[in-house]
Amino acid sequence: MSQPTQSAASAVAFDLRETDLFAFCRKGGNVTGEVVTRDLPRILAETAEDAPASAPEETFRYMLAGFVREEAVEPGEPVSKRMFLDVTVNGRVWLDCQRCLQVYPEPIATKMRFEVMMSEEAADEAPMDDDELDVIVGSKKFSALDLIEDEVLLALPSAPKHAVCPAVHESLVTGTDGEVEPEAPPEEEKRPSPFAALASLKTKH
């Protein structure tokens, strides 16, 4: 895990494993850095068994930016200060393609904005009508590393597949020429011909 770099505007100390998220947001913290896959055990668990030996050493590039937005709820009422955290993560995870059963690198590019809440109760009461905004509960010992890992996990596809598979797995090959046989179209239900029905009536007379 590389040492995060902070912008000049960020005057608060930042530790990826344990930081004061409230202070980070209030002071407009902004950090970028890289985290190695081996430091993300849940990502390692999702990594394909046949992934390259270098897979645990691959890195995810992240950017974290905190800020505060002031809002007046009602005229004459105290100004409400809402804290937010922008999280951007880029990298890749080696997965098993469910179509050809070969390993491939799945690109990860995720960006999310979180509203930082002071307590679980406040998070539970927050409206969830914005798909581009989620809520997290902040703390003075917040693990941004866990949050980064969460974002990578959420970005993984439910059915990993190559965009274009290099080859078809032998278990899917049924044709004699080594190609996948197309599925036979369903047989259309034959409707009785009205003319045949009319002819059968004539033969009875």
203 occurs within a structural domain: no
Residue 197 lies in a domain: no
DSSP per-residue string spanning 66-84: EEEEEEESSTTSPEEEEEE
Q: For residue 6, list its beta bridge partners.
A: 31
How far apart, in whole angstroms, are the C-alpha atoms of residue 22 and residue 37?
Answer: 27
pLDDT range class, residue 3, cuts 50, 70, 90: low
What pLDDT sits at residue 124? Answer: 84
Note whether residue 42 is domain-resident.
yes
Average pLDDT over residues 2-20: 71
Number of domains in the chain: 1
Instruction: Give the pLDDT of residue 176.
Output: 46
For tokens 């917040």, what's the residue? 142
Give pLDDT, residue 123: 85
Residue 9: count of CB within 10 angstroms of its CB:
10
pLDDT exceeds 70 at position 154: yes
Mention every residue, 6+ apart, whose C-beta is less than 8 A from residue 19: 12, 13, 141, 142, 144
56-60, 95-99, 195-199: which has the minimum mean pLDDT?
Answer: 195-199
Structure confidence at residue 31 (pLDDT)? 96
Task: Give start and end residues of each alpha helix (H) in 15-110.
Answer: 21-26, 41-46
Q: How confident is the prediction for the chain on average, in pLDDT?
A: 82
Is 155 a domain residue? yes
Report the C-alpha gap between 45 and 50 in whole angstroms.
Answer: 12
* Mean pLDDT, residues 148-158 taken together: 96
Residue 177 lies in a domain: no
Whether 179 is in a domain gets the answer no
Residue 198 lies in a domain: no
**pLDDT tens per residue across span 124-149:** 887 776 677 899 999 999 999 999 99
- Containing structural domain, residue 34: 5-172
d(CA 28, CA 8): 10
- Look at residue 94 and give its three-state secondary structure: strand
Ranges of beta strands (E only) in the chain are 5-6, 30-36, 59-72, 79-96, 103-117, 133-137
| Confidence label for 23 from pLDDT (cuts 50, 70 and 90) | very high
The more confident residue out of 93 and 182 is 93
Percent of the chain with pLDDT over 90: 57
Domain annotation covers residue 178: no
Centre a 10 Å sphere on the Cβ of residue 65 and count the other Cβ atoms it contains. Answer: 20
- The mean-pLDDT minimum among 11-15, 54-58, 67-71 falls in 11-15
The predicted pLDDT at position 195 comes to 46
